[in-house]
Amino acid sequence: MPKVDRRILKTQEALKKAVIELMSKKNFDDITIQEISDTANLSRGTIYLHYLDKYDLLDKLIESHIDELREFCKEAAEMDYVEGTMIWTEYFEKNFSFFSMMLASRGAPFFRKRFLDFLIEEFRKDVDITKGKNEEIEEEILVRFVASAQVGIIEWWFTNDKPVTHDKLAEQLGTLLERNL
């Protein structure tokens, strides 16, 4: 894979940071390209060199986080649920401003659906309804139950400004996943 110029990465990072900062103050639909360029200290033209519009910028920002979480899922496949969840909660802690905007504030309404769809896709890989406590439950119901619960707990954590440490959150979410999957 070719190496990306550091100036391009720096520009894209400044734009993503600007969007998050602006979203902490107002609804995404009310943010203008000019406000993004002013906040990032870049020209409007520079934005259009990298993105089609502000929606493309937001979409790429969301997709980069989903891709990162997808990689963590691959890494966590060899771990138990508590260890695997620890990777996620550390990432949530590190990227608190992004996830709190997307899940707990005036963030993009479609992020929650994309996040839920991603979790459904990932949990579907872990569900085994052929034996044990879940053999009477429809797979789709179980997968959606676990994914929806996960999103709800993560939203609660961000909305309430991290009422428990990310370690405690991982431990308890991992334990609940072990019980239900």
pLDDT digits (tens, 9 = 90+) for 34-71: 999 999 999 999 999 999 999 999 999 999 999 999 99
Does 1 fall in a domain?
A: no
Question: What's the pLDDT score for residue 153?
Answer: 95
Closest to 105 (Cα-Cα) out of 69, 65, 55, 158: 158
Q: How far apart are CA 104 and CA 1, in angstroms?
A: 36
Does 18 fall in a domain?
A: yes
Question: What's the pLDDT score for residue 125?
Answer: 87
Instruction: Report the sign of the C-alpha dihedral through residues 97, 39, 54, 71, in that order.
Output: negative
The total of structural domains in the chain comes to: 1
Q: Where in the sequence is the domain holding 84, given as residue range(s)?
A: 6-180
Does 105 fall in a domain?
A: yes
Does 81 fall in a domain?
A: yes
CATH number at residue 107: 1.10.357.10
* pTM score of the predicted model: 0.85
Say whether pLDDT at 181 is over 60: yes
Say whether pLDDT at 107 is over 70: no
Say whether pLDDT at 14 is over 60: yes
Which H or E run contains 160? none
